């Protein structure tokens, strides 16, 4: 159980509110200066509009920042309590766990065997003071705090962030778990920073949930990942915000020489999602695999802009996004493979498949290539189609109801991604989360 922020203590997203927010933080001067600079840039900039390529298919007319409040550092003990679902935590024994609610960390744990080996896992704001040099070196070294107005606001007002640092040669054999929770109408501006040193290895399970399915709120967050030479990271993210949440995120990773990342994303919740996800392969022999599972219903819209940036030779990237759409929902996937002139022997692959479960859905799929090298193999593809009625008839002839048949077909559609996940409990949690969303297909 966690506490909800008190309305009268939470400042607005304005100058006075930001000054109140910044005065309550116990952080190094360099970080406070960065926040103030970002706030100035935020105030001087305009919201993205449809003249910009990444936003031309996004409708922000219903978004009003003044409806929400900045996260607060402290909450009164008498505040109302709320329970946040934590599905990915079931069936595992985590090496450490972090829970946040409305941009405030309210639970931290790390097993002593990993702390003794130098692993750092905890509240990013607190650790920015305790490990100032480490955080200053990596914070916003990958994520661009000036990419757009949402990025500038996040850089100024992030709260409830998480830091994972795995030192050289340490392989954390148990997953580390992060839960980001949001009360109805709350705000989450969390920043997740993961640094995997040379030859180190870790698995992170990240989950974002609201107090209940119909909850509203605002999320403006970032995920920033640095995998150094020979390092390996598995990162699983489940986004299941309430159906009234506006969700904006910038997600970036840099992968060093002979390092790898397997990044799995499942997105089910929110009213509107706009995610910018980039992976940069900066060292020879770097490898990335990104798996995306999108399921939309009602009038939800998910927009994902992805980039596979090959900056070094002999690297491999594999992006596979699958979306199932119900009711009047919409998805936009805009993928790009970018290959620098130096990045010879590149092997890049991207694919987007869409399963249409209604006559009223829309799936925009826009793959692209920008190649400056001449010794590469880059391919992309996209498919969109409805459920095969013959498959439904076959299942019904074996005694399944129509809804059960559709649920099986949808689960099978995502099976290729589920098979890539090595943790059985995570596979089951994602599969069950999707199965709960399936309505009867007509």
Please write the tens of the pLDDT for every residue from 258-312.
999 999 999 999 999 999 999 999 999 999 999 999 999 999 999 999 999 999 9
Is residue 293 domain-resident?
Answer: no
Whether residue 336 is contained in a domain is answered as: no
262 and 408 assigned to the same domain: no
Residue 277 shares a structural domain with residue 393? no
pLDDT at 110: 98
Domain hosting 416: range is 388-442
Domain end: 227, 258, 283, which one?
Answer: 283
pLDDT tens-digit profile of 81-90? 788 999 999 9
Residue 354 lies in a domain: no
Nearest to 38, CA basis, from 63, 52, 21: 21
pLDDT digits (tens, 9 = 90+) for 204-246: 999 999 999 999 999 999 999 999 999 999 999 999 999 999 9
Share of the chain above pLDDT 90, in %: 82
Residues with Cβ within 8 Å of residue 84, at least 6 apart in sequence? 2, 99, 101, 179, 181, 209, 210, 211
The reply to whether 221 and 97 lie within a common domain is yes
Does the residue 302 lie in any domain? no
Residues 139 and 274 both lie in one domain: yes
Question: How far apart are the C-alpha atoms of 409 and 397, rounded to whole Å?
Answer: 15
Structure tokens, 357: 């479960």
Boundary-marking domain end, from 283, 304, 319: 283
Determine, yes or no, domain membership for 206: yes
In a shared domain, residues 189 and 72: yes
CA 267 vs CA 20, 224, 319, 346, 430: distances in Å: 33, 18, 16, 29, 10
Note whether residue 115 is domain-resident: yes
360 inside domain: no
User: Is residue 271 located within the same domain as residue 420?
Assistant: no
Pairs from 55-58 (Cβ < 8 Å, separation ≥ 24): 55/274, 57/303, 57/332, 57/364, 58/272, 58/274, 58/301, 58/303, 58/332
d(CA 298, CA 301): 9
Tell me: the pLDDT tens digits for 24-44?
999 999 999 999 999 999 999
408: part of which helix (H) or strand (E)? helix 402-418
Instruction: Decide which of 283, 299, 331 is a domain's last residue.
Output: 283
> Using an 8 Å Cβ cutoff, are 378 and 415 in contact?
no
Write down the pTM of the prediction.
0.94
Per-residue b/e over 346-377, b at no fewer than 16 CB within 10 Å?
Answer: bebbbbbbbbbbbeebbbebebebebebeebe
Q: What is the pLDDT of residues 121-153, one digit of tens each?
A: 999 999 999 999 999 999 999 999 999 999 999
- Average of pLDDT values for 112-122? 98
Phi/psi at 126 (5° precision):
-65, -45
Q: Please state the domain count of the chain.
A: 2
In a domain, 192, yes or no: yes
186 and 59 in a common domain = yes
């Amino acid at each position: 159980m966690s506490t909800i922020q008190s309305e009268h203590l939470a400042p607005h997203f304005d100058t006075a509110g930001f000054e109140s927010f910044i005065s309550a933080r116990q952080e190094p001067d360099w970080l406070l200066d960065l926040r103030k600079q970002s706030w100035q840039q935020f105030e001087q900039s305009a919201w993205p509009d449809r003249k910009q390529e990444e936003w031309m298919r996004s409708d922000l007319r219903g978004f009003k920042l003044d409806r929400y409040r900045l996260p607060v550092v402290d909450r009164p003990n008498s505040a109302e309590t709320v329970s946040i679902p934590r599905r990915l935590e079931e069936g595992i024994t985590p090496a450490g766990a972090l829970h946040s609610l409305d941009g405030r960390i309210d639970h931290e744990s790390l097993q002593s065997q990993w702390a003794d080996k130098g692993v750092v896992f905890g509240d990013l704001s607190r650790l920015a003071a305790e490990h100032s040099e480490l955080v200053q070196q990596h914070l916003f070294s990958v994520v661009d705090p000036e990419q757009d107005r949402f990025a500038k606001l996040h850089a100024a007002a992030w709260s409830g962030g998480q830091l994972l640092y795995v030192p050289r040669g340490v392989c954390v054999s148990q997953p580390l778990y992060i839960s980001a929770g949001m009360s109805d109408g709350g705000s989450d501006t969390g920043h997740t920073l993961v640094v995997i040193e040379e030859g180190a290895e870790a698995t992170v399970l990240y989950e974002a949930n609201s107090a209940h399915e119909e909850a509203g709120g605002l999320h403006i967050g970032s995920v920033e990942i640095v995998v150094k030479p020979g390092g390996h990271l598995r990162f699983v993210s489940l986004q299941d915000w309430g159906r009234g949440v506006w969700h904006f995120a910038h997600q970036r990773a840099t992968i060093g020489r002979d390092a790898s990342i397997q990044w799995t994303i499942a997105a089910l919740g929110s009213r509107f999602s706009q995610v910018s996800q980039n992976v940069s392969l900066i060292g020879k022999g770097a490898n990335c695999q990104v798996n995306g599972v999108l399921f939309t219903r009602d009038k939800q819209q998910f927009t994902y802009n992805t980039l596979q940036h090959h900056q070094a030779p002999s690297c491999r990237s594999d992006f596979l996004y699958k979306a199932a759409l119900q009711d009047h929902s919409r998805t936009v996937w805009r993928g790009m493979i970018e290959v620098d002139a130096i990045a010879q022997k590149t092997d890049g692959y991207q694919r987007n498949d869409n399963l249409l479960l209604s006559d009223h859905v829309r799936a925009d799929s826009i793959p692209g290539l920008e190649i400056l090298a001449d010794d590469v193999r880059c391919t992309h593809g996209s498919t969109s189609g409805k459920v095969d009625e013959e498959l439904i008839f076959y299942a019904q002839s074996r005694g399944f109801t129509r809804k059960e048949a559709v649920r099986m077909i949808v689960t099978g559609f995502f099976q290729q991604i589920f098979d890539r996940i090595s943790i059985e409990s995570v596979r089951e949690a994602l599969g069950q989360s999707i199965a709960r969303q399936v309505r009867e297909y007509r």
